[in-house]
Structure 1
């Protein structure tokens, strides 16, 4: 998913939604980022997200190169004092990846939701993934906050070389100021159009899920009202009869 500079997309987050029934939704606890990242990556680290980077020492390979299956470990930042962890689902290029993570954007007013294949962009000067911006559903685009990142933790036995991802291009000061060539600009525009087309396709899928869920809720509500309507009215409470009760106790 590529974003033009200065372009705030109107697309909603292209993420698969976990649909729960009304009866179970209110009872289910909010899903935190740590157990979800552990589940999708297979990295068996426990504890708060900010401790993952240090806990990985001697247990898992670490580095500054994104790779599918790796976990991006965020540093504590502002209100995010416990840090954050997210699994990389796809590497787009040296500056963009897609993430699978939980408890980042509130969706339909609820936190603790899962988001899949959402964009994260490296905004560090050295292209070392030390600072990123991450897709935020309420605004339908990348947030303005630059989040500090430790780096990437790789699953057991899957070093970056084995993952076969394109190498990260470390930009020098000269390369950072170099203008793109005509062919490079053309290729970038083409990639942006393809990414936007794919995002719109995912948006349509999400909107269909939402419509289906709304239809399900409407059917459930209709069935509930029909059940109430068809239920026989409760029997009226018997009237108090103190004289009859007295006669019953002492006899005729």
Structure 2
């Protein structure tokens, strides 16, 4: 029997949620989505309030063992946002303006339901989250090794610290 192979069409780039979130926000975190919340501590501000451009960090759960991250595209109200994210409704696909609703009893975004293309509505499962990571709000640097001295303005690099110590 003779079989003929036909070429398959080229597919768009395959995205994991972390690669997509990193690319659109500029956040400098790597690894599985369920590690982003912990990695953000001390590097980026974190909180429970949605803001456009923030990253919503999902916890691990059955069916989502590596967690998930999504970028807030727009805040609709205190319990509803639109998300941009990848690898949710279908493998590697990027989705824009996806509805997400805070269903937590306390209104703290610790539990959400997210629109799922397979049913054309909010998904049936409740997804636990850590909260929001704010990419454009890095904490101020702390220089624990700098000895107290006369005020000289802010220290911006290790070279400045070393020069300040030599001036004593």
Question: What's the TM-score bracket when you normalise by the shorter of the two chains?
Answer: 0.7 to 0.9
Kindly report the root-mean-square deviation, in angstroms, between the aligned alpha carbons of the 2 structures.
Answer: 1.5
Query: After TM superposition, which residue ranges in structure 1, 4 or more long, deviate above 6 angstroms?
Result: none
Long gaps (5+) in structure 2: 1-7, 140-168
Q: How many residues align?
A: 132
Matched with 2:55 is 71
1:57 is matched with which residue: 41, 52, 55?
41
| Alpha-carbon distance in structure 2 between the residues aligned to 1:158 and 1:144 | 35
Distance 2:104 2:18 in 1: 25
Measure, in 1, the Cα distance between the counterparts of 2:51 and 2:93. 23
Is the aligned partner of 1:85 residue 2:69? yes
TM-score normalised by structure 1 residue count: 0.51
Aligned mate of 1:150, from 118, 130, 142: 130
For the residues of structure 1 that align with 2:110 and 2:65, how far apart are their CA atoms?
Answer: 17
For the pair shown, the structure with the greater C-alpha radius of gyration is 1
Residue 30 (1) aligns with residue 17 (2): no
Choose between structure 1 and 2: higher helix proportion: 1
Deviations 1:138-169 (A, max 9, x none): 1000011000000000013379xxxxxxxxxx
Q: Aligned equivalents of 1:29 and 1:140: distance in 2?
A: 24
TM-score, normalised to structure 2, is 0.75
Q: Per-residue CA shift, 1:90-147, capped at 9, x if unaligned?
A: 00001100000000002xxxx1100001100000001000000000001000011000
Unaligned runs of 5+ in 1: 1-21, 160-252
How many Å apart are 1:29 and its aligned residue? 5.8
Q: Is 1:141 aligned to residue 121 of structure 2?
A: yes
Q: CA deviation digits over 1:155-186, x for unaligned, max 9?
A: 13379xxxxxxxxxxxxxxxxxxxxxxxxxxx
> Aligned equivalents of 2:38 and 2:88: distance in 1?
22
